[in-house]
């Protein structure tokens, strides 16, 4: 049941994320709102690759953030973002499909340079570092789009730029 719920939530977040990646303007990939900020292209690539992190939660006992690299580079074109998202989504689905509820109940640890930052179940790690992390950075991407003067896709409800459709009728 846990895996099925996580898979449903994962698919919903993928569906919500794709319009944001499709909205990334090809002529603004190198733009950043501040010197310490990711570029728009680099942030979009981060969002695109997050679903592919799923095996880190389903097959490993934890992750050491200190062992990470510099993060994604700014892509040269938007097709690289879309391609990365399609591939990462497939890896995420496969990782979830390959595990069961007993696996998701196993402990998982987040470290930084060997220091424990958090301990939780694999399911909690997926909820926190896959689903919520994706939502967080997708929100940042929406702000970047707004700052570039681009329309922000509708998400959980209408945006100032897009409507999801007619409201459901009251029963």
Q: Given a cut of 70, is residue 171 above it in pLDDT?
A: no
pLDDT, tens digit (0-9, with 9 covering 90-100), for 101-149: 999 999 999 999 999 999 999 999 999 989 999 999 999 999 999 999 9
Average pLDDT of the segment spanning 16-31:
96
Q: What is the pLDDT of residue 67?
A: 79
pTM: 0.91
Q: In 3D, which of 109, 90, 104, 118 has the Cα closest to residue 5?
A: 104
Q: Given a cut of 60, is residue 170 above it in pLDDT?
A: no
- pLDDT band for position 72 (50/70/90)? confident
Least confident of 26-30, 89-93, 123-127, 163-167: 163-167
Between these two residues, 85 and 170, which has the higher pLDDT value? 85
Q: What is the pLDDT of residue 47?
A: 97
What is the C-alpha to C-alpha distance for residues 18 and 86, in angstroms, rounded to an integer? 9
Q: In the chain, what are the domains? A: 2-147 (1.20.120.450)
Q: Given a cut of 60, is residue 167 above it in pLDDT?
A: no
Longest CA span, the chain: 55
């Amino acid at each position: 049941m846990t895996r099925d719920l996580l898979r449903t939530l994962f698919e919903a977040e993928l569906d919500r994320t794709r319009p944001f990646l499709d909205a990334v303007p090809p002529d603004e990939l190198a733009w950043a709102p501040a010197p310490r900020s990711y570029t728009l292209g680099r942030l979009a690539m981060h969002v695109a690759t997050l679903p592919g992190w799923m095996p880190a939660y389903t097959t490993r006992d934890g992750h050491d953030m200190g062992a990470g690299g510099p993060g994604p580079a700014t892509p040269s074109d938007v097709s690289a973002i879309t391609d990365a998202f399609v591939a990462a989504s497939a890896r995420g689905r496969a990782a979830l499909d390959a595990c069961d509820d007993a696996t998701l109940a196993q402990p998982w640890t987040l470290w930084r340079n060997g220091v424990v930052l958090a301990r939780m179940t694999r399911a909690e790690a997926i909820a926190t570092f896959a689903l919520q992390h994706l939502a967080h950075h997708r929100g940042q991407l929406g702000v970047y789009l707004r700052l570039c003067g681009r329309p922000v896709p509708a998400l959980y409800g209408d945006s100032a730029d897009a409507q999801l459709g007619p409201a459901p009728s009251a029963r």
